[in-house]
Structure 1
């Protein structure tokens, strides 16, 4: 049985990623690889970590050649992060592909190509704080764990509800009436075989390359797509390891943590949490993030 850690990242998140990778190396077995997928322009920066456990993959290695990078445009400073243009698909040039959307396509592509039993998806702004063993993500029957929060998305969460409707449409599942489950997490596990089946389903439903289809979407979540596929179309035996526990203690609030708040946050980590997550757009500084990492190591 094998496990691979996967992280999409880019240059602005490099300090956080370096901290994450150090924690992955510390808390996983020597045979576990950490795959990071980054824009081609950032490859050498991430390789500068010189880690034998790190596999740096550029976007061009996992995307078709018709996806042409527009990296310079993607980093126009005044554009909201989620709307910065990252690429143009020459087959479908409009709309151009936003950075956030391209990262999701890359994540699905990377995991679909893995020859491994479990892919553990960890965002750059996460720190692993306890040992990661494959048994935490697979049950005795070999079913990979799926994070699922029942009724986690309702009409009050308008944007995620659009993502959920898009996911259901792409795989041909019934649309939710008033609410639906949430599968989004900064720390999650996927079954690569099911990811392959999921994207093949999208291609069959749309009669198009799934990368073209997803890249052209304005409302989309890769987690909602995968979770929806598993729970509505996968073999029922692959749905027997579902939990509402993310195994990650998270700070999702966009307000930055100061030293006092960081102390409270670190001290509140649960006994089952394997990682801590401070949302990158919270504005929490690197010094505070280092402090949280040190503090959590004392608590755990």
Structure 2
């Protein structure tokens, strides 16, 4: 069984709705989709609930001492997450914590983490995530270089969180918007953090806000878990337009982006801060036919 995990928020509702449409059309096998949202967004996202889709409030995932509030210095209805153990957190931090925390609530063996700005383009069977007894695991060896300062910091901070020696620098990239994890590995990861630091894992995680849950999981699975039950695959299942430096969100740009998909790509991700016409994206993707 597979738990499809998406952390989202109200401003991304239309994108998340498109994701749900594409999953309902194309995702095959035994799966349940968990939408992880802030308590104040539960009512909005409840419109997407159904037989295969469950809305989960972060109140059921977070410790009592981590809560969100309106950002007093924002003019755009932004939220901020406050706790006694960190500087204020933003939505992208909260979404990462949700993706890890949900593992403690799941019975499914596999977690397929999909961002809310992803669209599935063709049929995909969740059973194909298994390679024998192993899980298909996205790992791009030496995919990070010294010029990628943000990635380098995420990798370094992941190592510190996991108790890995600072001299053991990792240049492997584990980041994508459509990736499979083992649920038990996530549970082991959270226990490992608490064993290393002697505190609740959320408290340990938020001490440094420069975090990547993908990097944390990847380094744990490969360096602590020695890659057991993970079958490395450097080919991403999702082609991502991270920003406008690697794509054009115009109608013509989207056509070019789609034309450049490899045979392994079953989905695309257009980052939410890349301004895209949702209806144009819906038309292009839901009617997409592989070449």
Q: Answer yes or no: same fold by TM over 0.5.
A: yes
**Equivalent in 237, 250, 254 of residue 247 of structure 1:** 237
- Report the secondary structure of 2:21's partner residue: helix
Unpaired runs of 5+ residues, structure 1, are: none
Aligned partners of 2:121 and 2:266 also within 8 Å:
yes
Q: How far apart in 2 are the matches of 1:178 and 1:217?
A: 18
1:51 aligned partner: 50
The CA deviation at 1:74 is 8.2
Q: CA RMSD in A?
A: 2.1
1:194 aligned partner: 185
**Equivalent in 49, 57, 73 of residue 71 of structure 2:** 73
- Report the secondary structure of 1:291's partner residue: helix
**Equivalent in 267, 274, 279 of residue 282 of structure 1:** 274
1:87 aligned partner: 81
Aligned partners of 1:5 and 1:121 also within 8 Å:
yes
- Report the secondary structure of 1:223's partner residue: helix
- Report the secondary structure of 1:151's partner residue: coil
Aligned partners of 1:113 and 1:192 also within 8 Å:
no
Instruction: Number of aligned residue pairs: give it.
Output: 289
CA pair 232-179 structure 1, distance change in 2 beyond 3 A: closer
- Report the secondary structure of 2:48's partner residue: coil
1:109 aligns with 2:107: no
CA pair 177-73 structure 1, distance change in 2 beyond 3 A: same
Aligned partners of 1:165 and 1:176 also within 8 Å:
no
2:123 aligned partner: 131
1:153 aligned partner: 144
**Equivalent in 192, 204, 214 of residue 223 of structure 1:** 214
Aligned partners of 2:30 and 2:126 also within 8 Å:
no
CA pair 74-212 structure 1, distance change in 2 beyond 3 A: farther
Deviates more, 1:51-60 or 1:127-136: 127-136
Q: How far apart in 2 are the matches of 1:75 and 1:299?
A: 46
Q: How far apart in 2 are the matches of 1:138 and 1:101?
A: 29
Q: How far apart in 1 are the matches of 2:197 and 2:147?
A: 29
Residues 7-39 of structure 1, C-alpha deviations (whole Å, 9 max, x = no match)? 000000000000101111112247421101000
The CA deviation at 1:195 is 0.4
Aligned partners of 1:154 and 1:178 also within 8 Å:
no
Deviates more, 1:251-260 or 1:101-110: 251-260
1:234 aligns with 2:254: no
Q: How far apart in 2 are the matches of 1:176 and 1:19?
A: 43
**Equivalent in 75, 88, 91 of residue 96 of structure 1:** 88
Q: How far apart in 1 are the matches of 2:169 and 2:113?
A: 29
2:202 aligned partner: 211
Q: How far apart in 2 are the matches of 1:21 and 1:100?
A: 20
